[in-house]
Structure 1
């Protein structure tokens, strides 16, 4: 087919391959998939391809982008919203396009954040195991009523806004922080406030902001010391928002009462693969696992049928439209055609 783009997909799981190959637009690209993550040792796999389709833990620093460019790659098509793993300035200087899926089923991630909150609070994961063993004792399963609690949402983009709408139905007092307040959320009774006020006032804090120089380790020793004793922290955004060492210390001193994570700072070495027959070498992660009040899922917040379908559709559209010279500017972080 004329202008059929050759695409190398990295970090490809069976569900990725299925959602892309079953989409009607797949006939317009030539897709090759690799289960391995993209890094300096695997970049050569994209030799003689036009597009690299990458995910959250693929490495796209300046050196790797340079190698990809030399191999003929002109477009980095991210099948995710975040782009902290891409050296955007290097891509610009190399004349490489970078596209993403800016908002795929934000309700999926918001609902997962709420799931972590409710599971940690009411301890349903522990109750499930007890009842299966014939233990109906309620000791150790005490939770709190979410109604009227102060819930802090850091970042009110598509996902944060979706969570606010969900929590409004619980009758929570909603505090939000975002440089760009959303008037629609303010009409729901949300109170936009400073990050310092949100940290100090809220019983539950949920992170929904991008990872950048300003947000890196926003949850640290200083911010934790300002929070309520027994605070619940939920992170379904990016692992680097949290200083894991500081959080472990806060768990040991009971400053943090509940911790729900769908992301982890060093997750690229662990997540999306089966390590059940191995000895995990990450001692920090293993220490987190020892706390009874910590619940970790493996970056599955996005993992719904609807989200996978939308990710495939938007990513394929980005690839095809760029090749046709009609890229959607809202989906492109870098578009050499605009220069």
Structure 2
């Protein structure tokens, strides 16, 4: 077998031993820790420091070090690189089409993130239903209930899920325990066994009939600003928006306007259009529940994610295949 070196970009916090164990099957282990820069990383790639690189582990926070995996960076990486194992359910900072053209396969971490992200989604939904931010701020300011207003029960409300993948299905499962009716929209209807009683509707019907709309889809060129002014105009007056997926799915300025007008009663957001920057209108609004992108931030989930990346890395080195390859590349194979 030819040289099959592995590279870790960023840090591993919960599975360090398992990363070192990869050295038993890889010809060499390289590391590029946090603290570097894109220019330095590009320079090292071009100078041949990562000789024989076959597969790399891209940590969850490494994008702030290397920047996006675009044409410039992919051209600098060794031609021997065949696999990118990314730690994260979202991978919008990797140009999948450019990777595919270069014969580089990419994996992400679905499944491992489902429960923790859905838990945060339910937390945000309940907080938004009860308009909790006003009371939460008031009590800390010594103002007891402050500008208190009655909230809503989840029971008998219709939860519309845009993107019924693993996280969407986990969200639906939890919401049913609160007596909610579940409907969803995907590009394609799921098999009945995966719907678990949820109703499949068109995108337009989802917008028009949902009491709560949860965004659980990936970000790409087609889904950027999939929710904007035109979509808000179609929604019920007083709709509640929950987003634990990616901020740019929503036109944030249009959301602020919809919150001010009352079209959107409240919103629960874990992600933002220009993270870590947040639209001032959201920061000023008392009818928004805000979290700083912590959907997968539990010890258990972070370890599970790291282990899944390492399982992909080992599978790539030993068997030249990925366990959780990104869907776009799976479809590409199916069309060959």
TM interval, shorter chain, is 0.7 to 0.9
Match of 1:19 in 2: 14
Q: 2:253 aligns with which of 245, 251, 254?
A: 245
1:295 CA drift (Å):
2.1
C-alpha change, 1:294 and 1:159, in structure 2 (3 Å) is: same
Please state if 1:171 is matched with 2:179: yes
Match of 1:255 in 2: 263
Q: 1:227 aligns with which of 222, 230, 235?
A: 235
Match of 1:204 in 2: 212
* Contact 2:134–2:287 under 8 Å retained in 1: no
1:25 CA drift (Å):
4.5
1:241 CA drift (Å):
0.9
**Residues 76-113 of structure 1: per-residue CA shift (max 9 Å, x gap):** 22111222222222212223232222321411111100
Gaps of 5+ in 2: 24-28
Please state if 1:53 is matched with 2:58: yes
CA RMSD of aligned residues (A): 2.9
User: In structure 2, the residue corresponding to 1:19 is in which secondary structure?
Assistant: coil
User: In structure 1, the residue corresponding to 2:21 is in which secondary structure?
Assistant: helix
What is the distance in 1 between the residues matched to 2:37 and 2:191? 36
Match of 1:297 in 2: 291
What is the distance in 1 between the residues matched to 2:132 and 2:258? 24
* Contact 2:130–2:153 under 8 Å retained in 1: no
- TM-score of the aligned structures, taking structure 1 as reference length: 0.82
* Contact 2:58–2:87 under 8 Å retained in 1: yes
* Contact 2:82–2:103 under 8 Å retained in 1: yes
* Contact 1:5–1:28 under 8 Å retained in 2: no
**Residues 8-50 of structure 1: per-residue CA shift (max 9 Å, x gap):** 323x4xxxx32131x4353324363533597567544666333
1:315 CA drift (Å):
0.7
C-alpha change, 1:142 and 1:200, in structure 2 (3 Å) is: same
1:162 CA drift (Å):
0.5
Match of 2:94 in 1: 86
Gaps of 5+ in 1: 271-281
Larger mean CA deviation between 156-165 and 81-90 belongs to 81-90
User: In structure 1, the residue corresponding to 2:279 is in which secondary structure?
Assistant: helix
What is the distance in 1 between the residues matched to 2:98 and 2:4? 26
What is the distance in 2 between the residues matched to 1:301 and 1:287? 22
**Residues 194-248 of structure 1: per-residue CA shift (max 9 Å, x gap):** 1111111111100111122332211011111001112111111112211112112
1:175 CA drift (Å):
1.4
* Contact 1:52–1:73 under 8 Å retained in 2: no
C-alpha change, 1:128 and 1:264, in structure 2 (3 Å) is: closer
Please state if 1:68 is matched with 2:93: no
1:180 CA drift (Å):
3.0
* Contact 2:110–2:166 under 8 Å retained in 1: no
C-alpha change, 1:131 and 1:330, in structure 2 (3 Å) is: closer
1:325 CA drift (Å):
2.8
Match of 2:9 in 1: 9
User: In structure 2, the residue corresponding to 1:108 is in which secondary structure?
Assistant: helix
